[in-house]
Every structure is written in structure tokens, then in C-alpha cells.
Structure 1
Amino acid sequence: MKEQKMENQDKDPKGPETDKLRALENIEVEMSVEVGRTEISISELLRLNEGSVVELDRLAGEPLDILVNGTLIAKGEIVMVGERFGIRFSDIVDPENRVGSI
């Protein structure tokens, strides 16, 4: 009987790896959405003032990067949730790689 139970545990996807993941579930992480990037010189930075516009590397309508602790985990688009902005996920890294990379 014991051998059979151990065999089933090895085949059970909810085994030790899932237990390890559960231990991490309550840890808080920072999620951010990146609209785009650009590089500017210090002199350009110093000339910025109210009303200045800086062109970014992303096209309008292109999916935005969703990062957790600075690591890309998905792409998405901005939506309105009542009076606030939200993000709709469109292309997501699989769960194992998501957790392993942050």
C-alpha cells in the first residue's frame, strides 16, 4: 500500500512543487506597466520642463509590458475600470517561468 501511495504522489501534479509555490503565495510583489523607453542625454534631461514631450520607442496601440519586480511577465492593454486605469493581460508567461524569474 505505501508503495502505491508514493507512486501516486510522484504522478500527482499537486505534489511538493505545488507546496513550495503555496509557501510563496502571500509574498507581495510590485507590478508595473511600462508604456515605453527612450534614451536622452543629460543636457536634454535638463532642458525638460512642463509641457515637454519625449518620444518613446513604442508605437501607439502596441501591447504594453507588464512587469513584476522589474521582470517581464506579460503583455497587455490599458482599460478603464470605473474611474481608474486597469490592464487587460493578452500574452502571459507560463506560471513556472513567471515565478522562477521574479
Structure 2
Amino acid sequence: MSNSFNNSNTTVETKTKTKLQKPKLYKVILLNDDYTPMEYVVKLLKIIFKKSDAEAVNIMLMVHEKGSGVCGVFTKEIAETKVSTVVNMAKKDQHPLKCIMEEE
């Protein structure tokens, strides 16, 4: 009788740790112009960015007084969508409002 060890049915599992990275965040910024009505900017902030009346007015005043204002911070895809929505809505309503995004 022979004692032999057969490894043909043995499997080895290895675990690999993957370090997840948080996605980069981007600020969506409205830029001031001399033509878009303040009320329109407040309306956009409430509709697109879900801001309260007070928050929308504060951001609008910052845009008016400082030249720009941050509407929110989002992942890249969401920030791109917000910028596009603002620009398209303003263009449709014949306002020259500009909106950009910057990496935070």
C-alpha cells in the first residue's frame, strides 16, 4: 500500500485588495453678465440645483457682486450635465448666462 498525495483537486485562492479611490469633484460656477436678469438666475438655481429661495438669492448676489458664484460640487458627469442644462436653458430663453466647471 502506498501513501501518495494527489494535488490535482486542490485549488488555491488568493485575495487581492483593491483600494477604491473617491471620484474627483467639480465645482459648477455661474459667471456674471450684464444682461441676464437676477430673477432668472434665481429661477435657474432653484430649478436645476434645487436651491431654496434664500440659497438661490445668496448665490445670485455673489455672482452679481464678485463676478462668479459656486452653485454646487458634483462628480464629473453630474457637473457636466448641470453646466449643459444651465447653458441650454439660458440659450433657449435668449440669455447669455455662462456656466463652467472647475476641478475642486
Is the shorter-chain TM-score for this pair beyond 0.5, marking a shared fold?
A: no
TM-score category (smaller protein): under 0.3
As a proportion of its length, which structure holds more helix?
A: 2
What is the TM-score when the length of structure 1 is the normalising length? Answer: 0.25
What is the TM-score when the length of structure 2 is the normalising length? Answer: 0.25
Larger Rg, first or second structure (1 or 2):
2
